[in-house]
Amino acid sequence: MLDPYLPLVLMFALAGAFALFSVVSAPYIGPRRYNRAKLDAYECGIEPSPQPVVGGGRMPVAYYLTAMLFILFDIEMVFLYPFAVSADMLGLFGLVEIVLFIVTVGFAYVYVWRRGGLDWN
């Protein structure tokens, strides 16, 4: 009865074994040449400075807010793809539901825009 699932279980087992093997064997196989440049923090190709200009060592909160908003709206837009695939089968019901979804996302976008969440100062 469970024979159709055997290839799937074997694929998951193979993926898990490969991941475990990669993590365990990396320290033994990889090169061990350490220098000062490798141990320093990488900051987009710019020489790291001890005190950033903004905030005395802290990242501005607007950076994180913008990143979270991007992820939020990006994930919401992913929900439009299943509608595009099955639009014929859903008919008028699907159209009404997707319009309500887009209106909800639009309200969220306008709210964030009016509150200044998209302003980068």
Query: Smallest Cα–Cα separation from 121: which of 69, 56, 79, 65?
Result: 65
Alpha-helical runs (H) found in the chain: 6-29, 36-39, 61-78, 80-85, 87-114
For 31-86, the pLDDT digits (tens) are 778 788 777 766 665 555 565 555 555 666 777 878 888 888 888 878 788 877 87
Give the C-alpha separation, 22 to 67, whole Å.
Answer: 31
For residue 12, the model assigns a pLDDT of 97
The pair phi, psi for residue 43, each rounded to 5°, is -125, 70
Q: What is the pTM of this model?
A: 0.44
Beta bridge partners of 46: 43
User: Is the model's pLDDT at 112 over the cut of 70?
Assistant: yes
